[in-house]
Structures are given as structure tokens and as C-alpha cells.
Amino acid sequence: MAAEIAGAADWYISNAAGMALEPAFSRLALREKYALSVETVQASELPPEIRGYYNPSFLIERRILYENGNESRRQWIFRDSGGKTRLNAVLIPPLEASAEEDTPDSEEETEDTSQGPPGFIEIYNGDNLMVEEHRLNTDGSDEIINYMYNNKILIRTETRLKIPPSDEEEEITQNLWTDYYRYSRFASIRGINRVYHSDIPMDRVRFPHMVLDVGRPGNFIGPNAAYSSIFLQDVFINRGDRVVYTTDSRGRILTETRYDEADEVIGEIKNTWSEDNKIQSVHWIAGEDDRLLEYEYDDAGDRIEERNYNKGVLERMVRLEGPREVETLYMQGRPVLRAIWEEGRKTSEERIRSRPETTD
């Protein structure tokens, strides 16, 4: 549904991240690919997901991001009397149903199975420190992180998962893990000790923000997104009962040591970083299991190549060539198979025959 112009809103030309780039009249902003409306609203307009966090002394700001004239995201900000942000929430509206879906053929099809919009909620105290974070998933589950401080220094976070009720079960809240933060005498973070409390497998591991500039993304740098989903997939599935992280003065993870239930080391990941915060290599060692990932970047800082080694022998290389990804598999150090990928789909594959050695 196209956007309705609200007279009380301030309108801006925006980008995909929802930044107000340039003031504009509403109809002119909506001609752009991205437009943003900003307005002060009443508590009666709050969605149920954040209504319980509202205090009558708060000022409510609503920001709606439009893409090609259609609403794509809503952001809610609570500010106290001193102008400090006390809540920041982003909710993604569900996709609109088609005309055929709006006319169901039976009563069963009219049943609403939606669990609420995905997004996130961040709660702050009067010291501008985040005290609670919610990650709202498309299945209705809520990943909750609570932050504990000592003299404004982050010392512990507790993460739990809330699963909505179903026809068979009531609502479930499962404790996942606790992170303990360790600092040097100069107050720089030295390591993180993660203790797991749950057998529920997680697809990803999110790290809390650093104590400095809490709430601003990008301070705590982990290389998880850089890992090959193929080469180290089993490492993340078998995470162990406890994980200890060490970091450098810039908040970058240097080592990730995993322990079993007997507190014996399962294995360790060692990360190497460049001066401009790019991950250069990821080295996993667990007994005789020795795997190394190396990365290369172009002059613009974009990753263009990944190499996978097993016990020092090259097994796989992926290189970006324009819109294509060229994947080459190796056997005993020799290329044996090459595949071309475009937009995540394999478009061709060929076997590589090594030339026979010749003698003069």
C-alpha cells in the first residue's frame, strides 16, 4: 500500500539504512527510492512489543522508512526529559498479502498464524548504557541479552531465548549462556569467558557491544561472518560447554578456546587481523585437525579471495571476478574441479585435467 502523507511529519530523502540525508516535501521524498518520515506521536500509537517500556515522562519519536513508496521499517525512540535515549526499537512490517490471499477459500485459511514483526529492541539507563536487548525473530521467538555493570564497566551479560506458546506447549524461556568480561589493570578488555547453559543449537553467535560507546555497532569485531560456511561449519555446530575469548586493545577477537564438560580443551581458533581491521586468516587447531582460512582484499577493501588449507595443503579457493565467483577444488595441491557461481547459483562446472609431466 502506498504511503499516506501525514501533515505533522517531517520528511527526508533517505538511504537504505534510514538516515535522514536531505529535508524534502513529502511527495518529493516519496519519489526517491528511500524516504523517511519523522514525527512525535502519542502513547496510544505504540505497538504492543514496546508498550510496556513506556514511561509517561518519555517523548516518543516514530520514524518510518519507505522504499519505492511502500513502508519497509518502523523505528521507535523514547527520550527522557534530559534528551537521553532510553529505548531504540526497529520493527519490520509483514509483507502484504496478495489479492488472492485476501480471499480465502475456507475458514482454516483465515487463521492468523503470525507471531509479530521481526526486529530489535534496545533499552538504556540514565547513563547511556544498554541494559537490555531483544532480537525479535520471524518465528516469534525473542533472544534477550541483559547487561550488568560495575562502575559503568560491563562485567557480565546473560543471554536467554523466549519461545512463544503453541497449541502443544506453553511459552518457554531457555537460558543460553553467560559471558564474563575480564579486563587488564588499564581497563582494556582482556578476555571473555562464555559458559553455555543450554543444548538448543544456535545458528549464530552475537557479541554484545563494548562498554565504550555502548549501543554503537561495530566496536566489538568478530570474524564470524568471514568464516567459510563449508570449511568450518562443523566447528560451530560442536561449540563445546565453555568458550574463552581473548581480544586485543581494539576489541578484536584474537583467540577462541573451546572446552568440553570436563574442562579439557577441545580446540582453538586463532585470528590474524590487518591494521585496518580486516580479517586476514582464521586458524582452527584441534588435535590433528588443522584447518586454515586465508583472505585477500582489493584496493577498495572488498574481499576478493578465500583459500582453504587442510594440514597445510590447499583444498579450495574462491575468487571474485566481477559478478561471478570462481570456486576451484584441489587434490594433493593440484586443481581438479572448477565451478562458476552467479548470484548464489552454480552456472557451470568443469573438471581440470593436470598435464602429464614430460621429459626432454
Cβ partners under 8 Å of residue 357, min gap 6:
none
Q: Which long-range contacts (CB under 8 A, 24 or more apart) does 236-241 make?
A: 236/205, 237/201, 238/266, 239/196, 240/196, 240/266, 241/195, 241/196
Q: Which of 325, 302, 306, 332 is nearest to 317 (CA)?
A: 306
What grid cell was written down for 310? 587442510
Give the separation between CA 314 and CA 331, rounded to whole angstroms.
8
What is the structure's pLDDT at 354?
A: 64
Alpha helices, DSSP H only, in the chain? 26-29, 48-51, 233-237
Q: Is this model's pTM higher than 0.85 or not?
A: no
Tell me the pLDDT tens digit for each residue of 77-107. Answer: 999 998 899 999 998 876 543 334 444 444 4
Judged against a pLDDT cut of 50, whether residue 284 lies above it is answered with yes
Give the separation between CA 26 and CA 32, rounded to whole angstroms.
10
Give the separation between CA 314 and CA 292, rounded to whole angstroms.
9
Q: How would you classify residue 80: left for phi > 0, otherwise alpha for psi between -120 and 50, otherwise beta? A: beta
Residue type, 213: D
Tell me the pLDDT tens digit for each residue of 130-144. Answer: 999 998 888 889 999
As a three-state string, the secondary structure of 169-217 is CCCEEEEEEEEEEEECCCCCEEEEEEEECCCCCCCCCCCCCCCCCCCCC
What is the structure's pLDDT at 107?
A: 45
pLDDT band of residue 276 (cuts 50, 70, 90) is confident
Burial class (CB in 10 A: 0-12, 13-18, 19+), 243: buried
pLDDT band of residue 59 (cuts 50, 70, 90) is very high
Give the separation between CA 240 and CA 234, rounded to whole angstroms.
12
pLDDT band of residue 239 (cuts 50, 70, 90) is low
Residue 49: strand, helix, or coil: helix
Tell me the pLDDT tens digit for each residue of 252-271. Answer: 889 989 888 888 898 999 99
pLDDT band of residue 4 (cuts 50, 70, 90) is very low
What is the structure's pLDDT at 54?
A: 95
What is the structure's pLDDT at 184?
A: 67
